[in-house]
Amino acid sequence: MATEDDRRALLVLMHCASLTARRLLELASVAGTARESLGAVLSGRAGTESDRAWAARVDPNEVDGRLRAAGARLVAVGEPDYPSELLDLFDPPAGLFVRGSSVAGLEPRIAVVGARNCSPTGREIAGRLAGALAGAGACVVSGAARGIDSSAHEGALAAGGRTVAVLGSGIDVAYPRKHRRLIELIEGSGAVVSEYPPGTPAEPFRFPARNRIVAALSSAVVIVEGADGSGAMITVEHALDVGRDIFAVPGAPTTALAQVPLALIRDGATLIRGPQDLLDDLGLRQTTALTAPNGAAAGSGRVGLSPAARAVWDALTAPITPDGLARSTSLPLSAVLAAALDLELRGLIVQRGGRFERRPGAECH
C-alpha cells in the first residue's frame, strides 16, 4: 500500500468475503498493489461475482467515516505499526483495524485464553495470571469473549497494565454487547484490533480465524480451562504452527474443564501452578504489587473460597501430605488436590517436599 488510492482500495478489498487473507495475499503477489488487486476483482480477473458486487458497492469514503466515528484506523502490511509477528502466519491479514495504541509498541505480549463457560476458580486464576503479567510489564492478549478472556483483560486492567483485545467482529462491533464498556477500557489501556471492517457482525466462523491472530501476536499462550472440543485448542494449534510457547494450568482430572490443559501438559506444554511459575518461565519479574481483579492484594485471601478450599486451609496448621489432608478434612483426594491447587494459585499455600503448607505471611479471612 504505497498511495492513498491503495489505501482506499484495501478498504474495499477487506469487505470481499471470499477474498480470505490467504487469497488476498496470493492476489497481491501477482497484482503488486492494493489498487491493482482491486482492479483485478472489478474486471473479473480475480475473486467471485459476489466479490465484484461488493467491490462495486462499498464506498471507501463511508468506511473512512465509520472508522473515524469508532476512533479506529487501518494499518496495512508493510507499515511501521503493523505487527511483524503476524507475518509468521500462513495467512496474515492484509491489514488490521486498530483502536487505541500501536500494537507493535505493546511488548512483550502474552495470550491468556480458555473456556467461555469457565468455573469461578478458572475466572479467578485467569485474572491473577493476567495481573501478574501486567505487573511485570507484559501486555495481555485475549479475545474479549466471556469467561476466561474477559477475566484476563479485567485482571490486566485491575493491575494497571496493558492489554490487547482481538475481536471476531467488526472493529466497531462489541461482542458480546455487554462487553462494550470493557472493550472501551481496553482501548484506553492498550489496543483493540480486528481484521474485519466496521459493521461486520460476529459470526461463528470468524472466531477460529480471530484465534490465529491472538496466537501470532503473542510470544506465549497460556491456557486456563477448556473442555474437549474447546476453541482454546484452535488457538494452541495456531500457536504451535508459528512456534509460540504453550503454558497450561492443571486441574482435577475428573473435571471436564481440565481436559484441554491436562492433554496439553501430557503432550509437552509447560505446567504452571500460579503466577510465579509463569513469570519465572518467561523470564519476567514483578515490578508492581500484584492485585486481584477485585483489588485485593495477592495472598490476602480476600476473595471467596469454596467450602473445600476453606476446609483445606483450616486443616493446614502444619505441613501435611495430600493424603493427610484428605483424612483431616474427610474430603476425597481429588477434591483436596483441586482445592490445594486453588489455594496455591491464590498465593496462599506452597508445596515443599510433597507436603502442603501455608505461605509465610498469607492470611485468609
Residue 299's pLDDT is: 44
**What pLDDT does residue 334 have?**
77
* Sign of the Cα pseudo-torsion (63, 153, 247, 114, in order): negative
CATH 3.40.50.450, the chain: domain bounds: 103-282
User: Is the separation of the CB atoms in 29 and 109 below 8 Å?
Assistant: no
Type of residue numbered 251 = G
123: left (phi over 0), alpha (psi -120 to 50) or beta: alpha
- Whether residue 20 contacts residue 201, with contact meaning beta carbons closer than 8 Å, is answered with no
Largest CA distance in the chain: 78
> Which cell goes with 79?
507499515
Closest CA to 31 of 51, 50, 9: 9
Other C-beta atoms closer than 10 Å to the C-beta of 122 total 26
pLDDT at 365: 64
Q: Whole-angstrom Cα distance, residue 268 to residue 272?
A: 12
Question: What was the pLDDT predicted at 362?
Answer: 79
What the block records as the C-alpha cell of 319 is 505441613
Q: What nine digits make up the cell of 33?
A: 498493489
The secondary structure of 81-135 as a DSSP string is: TS-GGGGGSSS--SEEEEEES-GGGS-SEEEEEE-SS--HHHHHHHHHHHHHHHH
353: left (phi over 0), alpha (psi -120 to 50) or beta: left
pTM: 0.81
For residue 93, with 0-12 CB atoms within 10 Å meaning exposed, 13-18 middle and 19 or more buried, which class applies? buried
Report, in angstroms and rounded to the nearest whole number, the Rg of the chain calculated over CA atoms: 23
What stretches in the chain show pLDDT beneath 50? 289-303
Domain with CATH 1.10.10.10 in the chain: 307-358
Task: Give the span between the Cα atoms of 314 and 30, in whole angstroms.
Answer: 69
The CA distance from 77 to 100, in Å, is 18
According to the model, what pLDDT value does residue 296 have?
42
CATH 3.40.50.720 fits 307-358, yes or no: no
Residue 98, strand partner residues: 73, 193
CATH 3.40.50.300 is the classification of domain 103-282 = no
**pLDDT (tens digit per residue) in 262-275:** 999 999 999 998 89
What is the pLDDT at residue 294?
41
DSSP 201-238: PP-TTHHHHHHHHHHHH-SEEEEE---TT-THHHHHHH
Q: Residue 300 has what pLDDT?
A: 44
